[in-house]
């Protein structure tokens, strides 16, 4: 199970959305830090395309945890990013860099990720990009 999570994050860092999608159950429930739950691979792919347009991010200092029964996992990491294009409702993008802690929680079904919930401190991110 941690192999699936590690593969997902390796693909994230490589900007490889297709491999990320391959790690997901067809009915993935994607709980984003701010916003509505997105269900299904198509919605997840749309989210990834939007994020890739607005942000360039690399996750470092990754630690992955998993339950003994293989149905749940979590990861803690540092988000190292560059704000590329202004995201609606957020401060103006001017190529600012940021670094903040984040975490993701997962449910797995038949070796695929069926839920991912990601958290980071939005106020910290806003402060960092507003200062840049």
Q: Which residues contact 3 (CB under 8 A, 6 or more apart)?
A: none
Q: Where are the beta strands (DSSP E) in the chain?
A: 24-31, 38-39, 55-66, 72-83, 97-109, 112-120
The single residue listed with the structure tokens 């693909």 is: 11
The 10s digit of each residue's pLDDT in 3-43 is: 999 999 999 999 999 999 999 999 999 998 888 899 999 99
The 10s digit of each residue's pLDDT in 94-107 is: 999 999 999 999 99
Task: Give the predicted TM-score (pTM) of the model.
Answer: 0.93
pLDDT score of 131: 86
pLDDT score of 132: 59
The 10s digit of each residue's pLDDT in 43-75 is: 999 999 999 999 999 999 999 999 999 999 999
**Predicted confidence (pLDDT) at residue 115 exceeds the cutoff of 70:** yes
Say how far apart CA 20 and CA 88 lie, in whole Å: 25
């Amino acid at each position: 199970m941690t192999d699936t999570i590690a593969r997902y994050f390796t693909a994230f860092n490589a900007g490889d959305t297709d491999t990320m999608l391959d790690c997901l159950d067809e009915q993935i429930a994607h709980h984003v830090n701010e916003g509505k739950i997105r269900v299904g691979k198509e919605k997840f792919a749309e989210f990834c395309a939007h994020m890739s347009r607005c942000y360039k991010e690399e996750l470092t200092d990754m630690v992955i945890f998993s339950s003994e029964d293989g149905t749940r996992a979590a990861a803690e990491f540092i988000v190292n990013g560059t704000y590329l294009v202004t995201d609606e409702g957020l401060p103006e993008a001017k190529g600012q860099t940021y670094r903040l802690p984040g975490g993701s929680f997962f449910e797995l079904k038949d070796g695929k990720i069926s839920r991912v919930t990601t958290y980071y401190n939005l106020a910290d991110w806003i402060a960092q990009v507003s200062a840049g």
